[in-house]
Chains A and B, each alone.
Chain A
Amino acid sequence: MSTCCQDKSQSPALPANLRIALAGNPNCGKTTIFNALTGSHQHVGNYSGVTVEHKSGQADFCGHNVEVVDLPGIYSLSSSSPEERVAADELLHTHVDLILNIIDSSNLQRNLYLTTQLTELNIPMLLVFNMADEAREKGFVFNFPMLERFLGHPIIETVGNNPSSLEAMKEKAIDIIAHLDTRVPPPHIQYDEHLDAAIADLEARIATRDLKHDEHISNRYFAIKLLEGDPHATAMPAIADLLPLSQKYREQLAASHGVNSETLMADARYGLIAGACREAITLRVMHRREISDKIDAIVTNKFLGLPIFLLLMFLVFVFTFTCGKPLIAILEFVFHQLSVAISTHWPAGRAEFVRDLICEGIIGGVGGVLVFLPNILLLFLAIAFLEGTGYMARAAFIMDGFMHRFSLHGKSFIPLVLGFGCTVPAVLATRIIESRRDRLTTIMVLPMMSCGARLPIYALLIPIFFPEKYQALILWYIYLAGVIIALFAAKLLKNTLFKGENEVFVMELPPYRIPTVGSLALHVWERCLMYLKKAGTFILGASIIMFFCNTFPRKTSDFTRDYEAEISILEAQADLAPEAKAFQIAELKAERQAEISAATITGRLGHWLEPVFRPLGFDWRVDSALIGAIAGKELFVSQLGILYASDDNGDGTDTLKEKLRANYTPLQSLSIMIFCLLTIPCVGTMAVVRRETRSVLLTIGQAAGLFIVAWILAFAVYQIGLFLGLGTHLLS
């Protein structure tokens, strides 16, 4: 195997900060190569203003330190999508020493379309014919010297996960850069006589213009862009007066070629590529029906497609939540032990407030952040695997028909299903939806898919208020209500707030491939880091605030009963059995705690908000519990427990159940459950929503919107029930 540039002294001195850009279609193995080049020395961020990811990293090219930028996967530089604009921008306006154009060798013609556009940038380029092994298997034989002449750039073959082929690529890249001075600029791609003449004419006229900060870009590039009708180029003031001329050329050429003027250049490019490929490529072996097609015959089958998809969704669900449970349990255990350790070793009586802040506020808060991590990690792994294999596109293909009725994208189905487990990873999963409007709509309605944290609420309330034969049905109706409301809300949002022309739907269905473990691992790692950094801080802050609200002001006196005295009396009583004594003492302590809780900010807020919620049938205790539930829906049950002076151990909830049954009607419980189903999501959700939508306004808007919807529906349920006299007494 060759080692890279064995004799470093032979290569001429290169400039210090080399910058190499990777450009290519989606699914051409670019990311695998990027990961292989940069390993863990990569950084994923965002291009400002758009949700396109910016990936760059450091790599070692024959002893030289190189910054590698992985441009988004694009089919063209025609600026019809944010990815294309961002990539074009990067190549035109930042300094790039070399472009590595990664090409899928078995899909040559489409990949070369981008190549013809990249050549116009006049940046040194190396064409990397990737996945050469697959191409060879399919029987392709390339005449590289001919292709190099045609395209004007050197070519090298690679296999993405073969290190030695990548070493060869790096050597060649450095070689090109080292000999830039002596480089003969490649001949322009020749289209046909008339088109070339038009390009030359426009080019000459542009040369006389002052292009200001775009001067380093070749005039030919702009000439061609004018002929393409590129919106960016046609908007440039410096060449605005050439628009009528270019329009005339476009129409003339279109007429003579028998094509549309808008797609004139696209026709010319593909025509050229077809010609080149006809001459330079031969297919030795007859195409056997590929394995991918055989798999698709089953997977996108009219009858089997949907069941297979649902099965896979189920598996992802199980993988994410069930496999995550033990990890979450471990994490919770660790944090619990940490909290206990700190409180036992804390010097008694000294700054107890700080101890509580650390144990409940900070450790509780951090724990609250990290408790989502196993689910997120597993979810990203599952999604990365599905996307890497190419199945994701098939899933969208199958589900699109159904989702389209609700103005949603086919890929929206997956985050919505995940929302049944936990909204936080589900929001993060919406990244698989390319269209911004579709993504935002999905994010906005996700919390309505009844998440796992609400299940304890239903599990508590339903058995208390509904006879056994109705219990499963009520639960099912609640879940169904969430889904139906979510779907209609999505349709409404798509037609109002997120209204716009339906995004163009053109989706490639790549052949099935097995993603490399390394790629998957890196991908997941990056995502988790991002989550921890951004969402984590928000959740931590919110948890600390909730801690304060739940703790202060501290009631230490002015109780309705003298608990201390009563407890002492009980303890002194000799004739009471130890269990009965312990039970009564525990009860007294719980009552005391209830009064303390009622005096805190949360408790007071509950009282204060009572008028707002009375039409829904709630009282101040429920209101307080709801406020506590903002930190996490599962806290509703524990808050309620505290306020009803039942301790929150497993068996203590029996007392809670009795108290609830005594204080509320089935109708009220239904109203509570519906409100919990639809209302403001937990802070974890809000944090990731803010991160994914990059808009505080939308996050607040979602919370407010959900609150209003929840209020109205709970109100309707309660008032209609009262009116009809339903559910006001316990059903037999």
Chain B
Amino acid sequence: MAQTAISSSQEDYLEAISEIIEKNGHAHTKDVATALDVSMPSVSAALQQLAARGLVRYQKHQPVTLTEYGEELAQQVRRRHSIMLKFFQDILMLPAKDANETACELEHTLDDTCLNRFAFLAKEIQTRDDCQALRANLQEQMPTIKVKKEAPVIPLNYLPIGQQGIVVAINESLACLQKFADMGIVHGMTVTMESHAPFGDLLRIRLLESSLSIRGEDASGIWVRLVQ
């Protein structure tokens, strides 16, 4: 990605290691695993790859350290992250969590020219006198621009137990299409997932005040929108 030709995931590792070392003085593999929310084996594998590329020094049961080049790359990633973060927070006025998440994703995709221009744009808006009115307007209007997140649409067999979903689409080629329709599984119907059978494929769902049991295989052809 970008100029460095290492993967986004590897960039994330470098970023995390650098941050942890800055905070704690040293970075244990456990800390890295926690920070990135991955399993220990995954961390070991990733660190070995990074070590092979000369970006980290890694020995089992020892804290991991960054090589000089590794540190350099890490700083680049962190810089990109902080530029985007600042832009999202200060200009777009996104809440901190959303800003951080989006920044984490974009930091791998945008190239440095683009980033520098973002940074410049942000700086100009924040500092120039003739942008005073603009700043005031943005301050007022930005937070009001919201789009309600539509609930995800998932196959019925993925509906968590206890959750409700509204049927939005049914696979036409299902053999049991007519039978399902007769029983009430039609567009717009609210379905609740009650339980799974102890063995095998059966699901128990509730609709229209009674419980039905259908095969998970068939349920995968019914798409429902989660009800929040």
Residues of A within 8 A of B (CB): 75-76, 78, 80, 106-110, 113, 257-260, 262-263, 266-267, 270-271, 274, 293, 296, 300-303, 305-306, 393, 396-402, 404, 410, 501, 504-511
Contact = CB atoms under 8 A, between A and B. Distances in A.
A402 B199 contact: yes
Residue among A259, A260, A305, A400 facing the most chain B CB atoms (10 A cut-off): A260
Contact of A271 (B188, B198, B204): B188
Given A106-B209, A306-B198, A267 B181 contact: yes
B62 to A, nearest CB: 43
Nearest to A304: B198
Contact of A266 (B175, B186, B195, B202): B186
A427 B176 CA distance: 29
A401 B182 contact: no
B189 interface: yes
Given A306-B198, A506-B212, A397 B184 contact: no
A300 B197 contact: yes
Contacts of A113: 182, 184
**Chain B binding surface SS class:** mixed
Given A397-B204, A398-B198, A80 B209 contact: no
Given A501-B175, A506-B179, A511-B210, A270 B186 contact: yes
Given A300-B198, A300-B204, A401-B202, A507 B177 contact: no
Residue among B175, B188, B210 facing the most chain A CB atoms (10 A cut-off): B210
A303 to B, nearest CB: 8
A107 B210 contact: yes
Contacts of A509: 204, 210-213
A560 to B, nearest CB: 63
Contacts of A507: 212-214
Contact of A107 (B186, B189, B208): B208
Contacts of B177: 260, 262-263
Given A393-B213, A506-B213, A263 B186 contact: yes
Categorize the interface residue count of chain B.
35 or more
B66 to A, nearest CB: 47
Contact of A505 (B199, B204, B215): B215
Nearest to B176: A504
A378 to B, nearest CB: 29
A113 B187 CA distance: 15
A305 B213 contact: no
Contact of A397 (B172, B175, B197): B197
Nearest to B212: A508
Given A262-B177, A267-B186, A504-B176, A401 B197 contact: yes
Residue among B170, B182, B201, B211 facing the most chain A CB atoms (10 A cut-off): B182
Nearest to B189: A270
A454 B100 CA distance: 75
30 contacts: A80-B178, A106-B209, A107-B208, A108-B209, A109-B184, A259-B187, A260-B170, A262-B177, A263-B170, A263-B181, A270-B189, A271-B188, A293-B194, A296-B195, A302-B198, A303-B198, A306-B198, A306-B199, A393-B213, A398-B199, A504-B175, A505-B218, A506-B176, A506-B179, A506-B214, A507-B214, A508-B183, A508-B210, A509-B210, A509-B212
Given A110-B210, A262-B172, A401 B183 contact: no
Q: Nearest 9 CB-CB pairs, A to B?
A: A401-B200, A401-B199, A266-B181, A504-B176, A263-B181, A76-B182, A509-B211, A109-B208, A507-B213
A507 B203 CA distance: 10
Contacts of B208: 107, 109-110
A263 to B, nearest CB: 4
A90 B19 CA distance: 78
B180 interface: yes
B12 to A, nearest CB: 37
Contacts of A506: 176, 179-180, 183, 212-214
